[in-house]
Amino acid sequence: MKTTLLTILAFAGMTSLFAQVPQIPLVEHFTQASCGPCASQNPALKATMDAFGTANYVRVSHQTSWPGVDPMNAAFPAGPNDRRNYYNITAVPQTSLNGGMPGSPNTVVTSSSLASAFANTTPYDITVTHTWADPSTVNVNIDVENVTGSAISTADKIYVTMVENQVVYPTAPGSNGETSFEYVMRQMYNASTGAPNATSGAALGSIAANSTTNFSFTISNLPSYIRDKTEVTFAVYIQNNGTKAILQAGKSDKAPVPGIISVSTADASTVSNDFCDYNFTPAIDFTNNDAATAVTSVVAEYSLNGGTPVQQTYSGNLTNGQTATISFPMATLSGGANTISSQIISVNGGQDWSSPAAVAIADRVVQRLNVNGTNAPILEGMENGQLLPSSGYTQDISTGLFSSDEPISNFAVVDGPAFNLGAIGGFAASNRSLNYRFYNVSAGGVMDFIMQKINLGTGSSLTFSHAYRQYTNENDRLEVSVSTDCGVTWTSVFDQSGSTLSTLTPSTTQYIPSVAGDWRSNNVDLSAYDNTNDLILRFRGTSGYGNNLWLDDINIQSTLSHDDINALNELKLYPNPTSDMIQITGLNEAVNFSVYNVLGAQVIEGTISQNESIDVENFTDGVYFLKLENGKTYKFIKE
């Protein structure tokens, strides 16, 4: 009996000495608002973490300074930069779990890896709370407890990060299309002093057996770039600075901000999907989410394409959970891309709400075709559009509209030099081409480039060039269709997919054209639509989750014979590019010609025969089109 009792007592002592608590996983996510792969991979990461349960992890998103524009990094670059260097991050997206080796987000963070991390135990326990004294002052309290019966000092650093759980922009702040960002690092504080910009953390020190080390401080100068104060929380983690191992993490819950009413908005405008319907009714849904305060008045406004704002006032009594729709008079859209901007001006005669972001409404872009068709010929070499700032993408193409749910990084005209890709235009003769990035688009994703209305004469035809490399057996598809009733019905005139669409042998790497031989020219007879006004052409790409498709040199002609259509590729220009002279081979007789620049302005005209050259030495460097009297058109580059 005595021996048994001693054993029990000894075991009880060991239990006290080695007591442990579950370890909360810390996910450090490195991402960027202009990173195309980030936009495509972040939703899967969010889904995995949501399924695991937000109470079961701590996440901090570090918005890096590259590859493009990111206002969250610009507001606080020091924190993300130090953590990036700490883990030697050289590309995004990347993720580290509990201080481990960074890797692809959806490889490092899975339901299995999160469960394994959560199964770990640690002698450290962290409790974090924050309270708002007023809209500009917040008090932070942190307890780090040693739950064992022995002193511990394994973690030598404590990091305190102010996190905005959700940062929402009305329009994408970067080039990848993302408007909503989660758990964004906004500032780092010294746990001991409360000083900001404490990117290297603070000393934790040894914690005695069954004891708690407390850190508390007040922030009285809240960063001005916080978009929604009600979304602010504090993430705290302790780390061994030598091994980088995270020993424990904790976070505070969102807290009410006194004197600020909680409200939200949503766009409720009535806009049809008809590209020829130019009427719309702007409207805003306004919701009161505040349990303590009723909304009795709201002033809202909208503007169309940057024009004079139109205001409307709501008067009533919205209690918690109730929504009112604020409608404006019907307005008229114009041809091209229409931007509808809406905002709330005031609530309850000027009462503060959580932040402008709480009622931010994303600009709505509505595409409409021009009211009247343009006479053929129509040439589109993809060279003219204004690039999105700090990017190599554009959807600013005057001859057509982009219609897709994909971010611009997956469907746009791409500028080769902007990405150090060189001449990625048709037959390696220009810098830009239209990219359907099937490599990053889930199977079934549809992307439409829709040409503006065209008026045809006789002998009508379409030519275009494309480059595509199939990814094993995936069947990406390109279909060209025409409509004579403004998109109500469509008739297919070109339809290729998979190996038939391919211009090269299959490859399992992301495809980018590099030489003229990558490309194929396509000729489509449109004579069945001769003398048709307001014809619409649609270039539809449907993803098989395969490889990238590149499209260029769209040329819509009339007054060509069928023989001319079949002979479009028999004549050639060389050298191309050229610095001084350009020659046409394959001429049987003298022909009249004109040269046009990319703006459609005629530069020169004349007559040329076989073995004669055209002097272009004095031309400004750029892309030009040589048009022969029979309607054939060729592109060349002066450099």
Give the residue extent of every domain in the chain. Answer: 21-251, 263-368, 374-567, 570-639
Q: Do 198 and 129 touch, CB atoms closer than 8 A?
A: no
Q: Do 362 and 170 touch, CB atoms closer than 8 A?
A: yes
Other C-beta atoms within 10 Å of 143: how many? 16
User: Could you tell me the two tokens for 580?
Assistant: 């001084």
What is the rounded CA–CA span in Å between residue 432 and residue 428?
A: 9
β-bridge mates for residue 96, sequence order: 28
Q: Do domains 263-368 and 374-567 have the same CATH topology?
A: no
* Identity at 253, one-letter amino acid code: D
What is the rounded CA–CA span in Å between residue 597 and residue 622?
A: 8
pLDDT at residue 3 tops 60: no
Beta strands (DSSP E) in 53-178 are: 58-63, 94-97, 121-122, 124-134, 137-146, 157-168
Q: Do 460 and 527 touch, CB atoms closer than 8 A?
A: yes
Q: What is the dihedral of CA 454, 456, 459, 464, to 10 degrees?
A: -10
The closest of 476, 479, 394 to 439, measured between CA atoms, is: 476
Place of tokens 């969250």: 72
Place of tokens 């008739």: 491
pLDDT at residue 9 tops 70: no
Mean pLDDT, the chain, rounded, equals 89
Phi-psi region of 112 (alpha: psi -120 to 50; beta: other; left: phi over 0): alpha
What DSSP character marks residue 53? Answer: -
| DSSP codes, 268-321 | --B--S-TT--EEB-EEEEEE--SS--EEEEEEEEEETT---EEEEEEEEE-TT
Q: Do 147 and 126 touch, CB atoms closer than 8 A?
A: no
3-state secondary structure of 184: strand
Candidate from 81-95, 308-322, 331-345, 540-554 with smallest mean pLDDT: 331-345
pLDDT at residue 562 tops 90: no
What is the rounded CA–CA span in Å between residue 259 and residue 136?
A: 11
User: Could you tell me the two tokens for 497?
Assistant: 């997919």
Better pLDDT: 15 or 246: 246
Exposure string for 200-226, b = 16+ CB within 10 A, e = fewer: ebbebeebeeeeebebebebeebeeeb
Domain range 570-639, its CATH number among 3.40.50.720, 2.60.40.1930, 1.25.40.10, 2.40.50.140: 2.60.40.1930
β-bridge mates for residue 233, sequence order: 163
List the 602-608 sheet strands across, edge first.
602-608, 591-597, 622-628, 633-638
Per-residue model confidence as pLDDT tens digits over 426-452: 999 899 999 999 998 989 999 999 999
pLDDT at residue 223 tops 70: yes
CATH top-level class for 374-567?
mainly beta
Other C-beta atoms within 10 Å of 153: how many? 11
Mean pLDDT of 39-66: 94
| pLDDT > 90 in the chain, percent | 64
Q: Please, which residues have CB within 8 angstroms of residue 276's CB and are 6 or more apart in sequence?
A: 368, 369, 486, 487
What's the pLDDT at 600? 62
Mean pLDDT of 340-345: 89
Q: Is the domain 263-368 a CATH 2.60.40.10 member? A: yes
| DSSP codes, 194-232 | --B--TT-EE---B-TT-EEEEEEEE-S--TT-S-GGGE
Mean pLDDT of 314-343: 92
Q: Do 83 and 62 touch, CB atoms closer than 8 A?
A: yes
What's the pLDDT at 576? 82
What is the rounded CA–CA span in Å between residue 118 and residue 229?
A: 30
What is the rounded CA–CA span in Å between residue 195 and residue 210?
A: 29
- Residue 407: pLDDT band (50, 70, 90) is confident
Strands 26-31 and 58-63: parallel
